[in-house]
Structure 1
Amino acid sequence: MLKKILLVCFMGIFAWAYQAIRPPPPKICGSADGPPVTASRIKLNDGRYLAYKEYGVPQETAKHKIVFIHGINSCRHDAAVITASLSPDLVEGQGIYIVSFDRPGYGESDPHPSRTLKSLAFDIEELADQLGLGSKFYVIGFSMGGQMAWTCLKYIPHRLAGAVLLAPVVNYWWPGFPSNISEEAYYQQLPQDQWALRVAHYIPWLTYWWNTQKLFPFSSVIGYSTSVLSDQDMELMPKLYSIRKEFQALPRQQGDFESAMRDLIIGFGNWEFNPLQLKNPFSKSEVSVHLWQGDEDKLAPVKLQRYISNQLPWIQYHELTGAGHMFPYADGMSDSIMQTLLGIWKDPS
């Protein structure tokens, strides 16, 4: 009898644990229990839908066509935070067209349970092809989107007219970082974020439970905490909130796991290539690549960005004194970033 009771108890605990660590299925847009479809979308070759939004001049008359890659907890509308600050004269005079899309699992783009670094680069290429952007286009990636921009430099460099990485999130486990540099940067994070990234890297199947349990603090980013923001970031938050308030719930509306949590798993997992070893794919210097970074960024440590820029001298590095992670939203930054990308302004630094 005792053995049967213990067996039943064990099975009950196992069933509870399985349910606790298993993410719920996503609420896919357009499904019976999912959010409605309101965005323009394309259907990819594998059957998934990708939602997008266009900004700037009409695509048909554009001289410069740009794909914007949003960060974690964001969506296609976040490009408006940057494009709204662009000078109309610059947009019209240079013929700038920008398309922003919901990365898989975000906003109104279908989740992609098999998502990889490579698959996102090819999603971007297919989006460009279906929208008719031509053989070459620019990419701008912010934060986690900046990290994903590395995949474009690796897998589709032949399609790029230029690239910008804005405060790109760095994977502490990329091979090549001196241990003293990577460890120092890693331990500058909040303890709760150190643990959240350890889980995402070493035991990714526990990521959902870790970031939903109530026993101890989980990822500050998943929890929308402002504790990881710099002084400048806090000054910029009212501007950001005023623009984002209408779509604040949209990014993770299909579920937290297939959006933000899968970002952690992929972004801080074992990459199939090492960005620190990328060779310059643009032999004739006809394409420029830029990495912008604030020296007070608490999410993407400046120490690691400096090391990356030294290892990859073909990337033009722009460090901003006193700037945090949200510097692209500061007055005048959008114009500076865009002018530098298009080669019509020289960085005074």
Structure 2
Amino acid sequence: MASDSSRKSSLKPSSRKSFLFPSVVIVIVGIIVALTYQSKLKPPQPKLCGSSSGPPITAPRIKLQDGRYLAYKEHGLPREKANRKIVFIHGSDCCRHDAVFATLLSPDLVEELGVYMVSFDRPGYCESDPHPSRTPRSLVSDIEELDDQLSLGSKFYVIGKSMGGQAAWGCLNLKYIPHRLAGVTLVAPVVNYYWRNLPLNVSTEGFNFQQKRDQWAVRVAHYAPWLIYWWNTQKWFPGSSIANRDSLLSQSDRDIISKRGYTRKPHWAEVRQQGIHESINRDMIVGFGNWEFDPLDLDNPFLNNEGFVHLWQGDEDMLVPVKLQRYLAHQLPWVHYHEVPRSGHFFHFTKGVVDNIVTTLLTTDTDTIRQ
């Protein structure tokens, strides 16, 4: 097996992460829009839950040190009876109700493994207060405070899905809370094309894999975040496919949606009830902005095999290019990579997959990890 240093030097990153020429266009468009549509650039104030004009509070919430409120939902065994505690981090355009790794987990496994899981609304979603200065680091702090206030113990597991990967990668940063982790699983985590250690050829290939509308939305989020509200709400041309709930999906994902039906209908309206900007748009600004760290610089937080990191990815995912995950897995050999054949972004809805992912996270050791 190649050493970590040889792996990390096999492809050298470009010193400039650019998809450069379009950034000039964005600046020009931004100036024109700013001069013409100044009133439409600024997003409306979020509708805070519990305020006179905002949605009602229906979920249990904790008050964070900075005064914000974080809504959560508990699943599985009662906290005091569970042997293993898991924090689930939802993806974009989702909320605490979308904790499929709890709702699809076999009841027998819940009992056998002693599983308690808590999901929470990330800031700006559903019933959690927005955080205009949100970063991957602040998300990690929210998770740690949630754990402390719910008395989940000194160590807990983390599962981050899709855009929830922002926080999951942050948890692994040795400067943050690695000492609190029992294990981490990332499921189809979104990759930031602007991570400084992603080689230009790798990031460009992944970037070009997206729909053109999403390429432009990502550029705006990175180069001109102040323009993203207008970009995703104007009617001249398509904005982000996620913002418009019109994403291109693989055939396997379409089959899953067809079989399951419109399963999120009961809480669909709640997801963006505080406004699109502090939820969907903020995800893009943070996800494709300049992070405080680069995941490709991370070191294994479990040097004594007291825990493990797993990354699961469908090979037909149309939202997160599989080649980017393969590169990450190659550069970070301590991340145990599981590629699911003939599967898209929603492969975890396939029967038995959630059981497999959770069991792998909670029970694997160096002899049983499947590469």
Calculate the TM-score normalised by the size of structure 1. Answer: 0.93
Equivalence for 1:217: 238
Give 1:239 shift: 5.2
CA distance in 2, matches of 1:343, 1:95: 12
Residue in 2 aligned with 1:194? 215
CA contact (8 A) 2:34 2:41 kept: no
Alignment partner, residue 201 of structure 2: 180
In structure 1, C-alpha distance between the alignment counterparts of 2:299 and 2:319, rounded to whole Å: 26
Report what 1:47 is aligned to.
Answer: 67
- d(CA) in 1 for partners of 2:279 and 2:348? 23
| The one of 58, 62, 65 aligned to 2:78 | 58
Aligned to 2:166: 147
Deviation per CA, 1:26-68, whole angstroms, max 9, x where unpaired? 0000001100000011111111110000000001000000000
Tell me by how many angstroms 1:185 deviates: 1.4
Q: Does 1:106 align with 2:125?
A: yes
> Does the 8 Å contact 2:315/2:344 carry over to 1?
yes
Q: CA deviation at 1:152?
A: 0.9
Shift in Å, 1:344: 5.0
Counterparts of 1:23-42 in structure 2, within 5 Å, are 23-42=43-62
Residue 244 of structure 1 deviates from its aligned partner by 1.1
Q: CA, structure 1 residues 299+14, in 2 after alignment: closer, same or farther (shift >3 Å)? A: closer
Correspondent of 1:166 among 187, 197, 222: 187
1:157 counterpart = 2:178: yes
CA distance in 1, matches of 2:128, 2:295: 27
**Contact 2:40–2:230 (CA<8 Å) still a contact in 1?**
yes
Following superposition, the deviation at residue 82 of structure 1 comes to 3.1
Identify the range of structure 1 (175-184 vs 214-223) with the bigger mean alpha-carbon deviation.
175-184
Q: How far off its partner does 1:78 sit?
A: 0.1
Matched residue type, 1:310:
H
Q: What is the SS of the residue equivalent to 2:264?
A: helix
Q: Does the Cα contact within 8 Å between 1:292 and 1:319 map onto a contact in 2?
A: yes
1:122-141 CA-partner distances (Å, limit 9, x unpaired): 00000000000000000001
Assess if the C-alpha contact under 8 Å between 2:137 and 2:167 holds in 1. no
2-side partners of 1:240 and 1:30: how far apart? 33
Matches within 5 A, 1:248-267: 248-267=268-287
* Aligned CA distance change for structure 1 residues 14 and 166 (closer, same or farther; 3 Å): closer
Which digits, 9 at most, give the CA deviation of each residue in 1:314-341, with x for residues without a partner? 1100001111011111111110001100
Contact 1:41 1:52 in 2 (8 A): yes
Q: Which segments of 5 or more consecutive residues in structure 2 lack a partner in the other structure?
A: 1-32
**Contact 2:125–2:272 (Cα < 8 Å) also in 1:** yes
Instruction: Name the CA distance, whole Å, in 2 between partners of 1:252 and 1:33.
Output: 15
Mapped to 2, the partners of 1:348 and 1:152 lie a distance apart of 23
CA distance in 2, matches of 1:347, 1:190: 35
Q: Counterpart of 2:108 in structure 1: which amino acid?
A: D
Q: Does 1:84 align with 2:103?
A: yes
How does the TM-score come out when normalised to structure 2? Answer: 0.87
Tell me by how many angstroms 1:18 deviates: 2.1
For 1:31 and 1:54, locate their aligned partners in 2 and report how far apart those are by CA, in whole Å: 25
* Residue aligning to 2:112: 93
1:288 maps to 2:317: no
Displacement of 1:261: 0.3
Partner of 1:8: none
- Whether contact under 8 Å (2:250, 2:316) holds in the other structure is yes
Q: Within 5 A, what are the aligned runs for 1:115-154?
A: 115-154=134-173
Give deviations 1:260-281, integer Å, cap 9, x for gaps: 1000000000111110110112
Provide, for residues 205-236 of structure 1, a one-character-per-residue CA deviation record: whole Å limited to 9, x for no partner. 1000000011111100111114x211111111
Deviation track 1:62-82 (CA, whole Å, cap 9, x = no partner) reads 000000000000000000x33
Which residue is 2:30 aligned to?
Answer: none
Counterpart CA distance in 1 for 2:84 and 2:222 is 38
Residue 20 of structure 2 aligns with which residue? Answer: none
What secondary structure is seen at the aligned counterpart in 2 of 1:249? helix
SS in 2 for 1:233: helix
Aligned to 1:306: 326
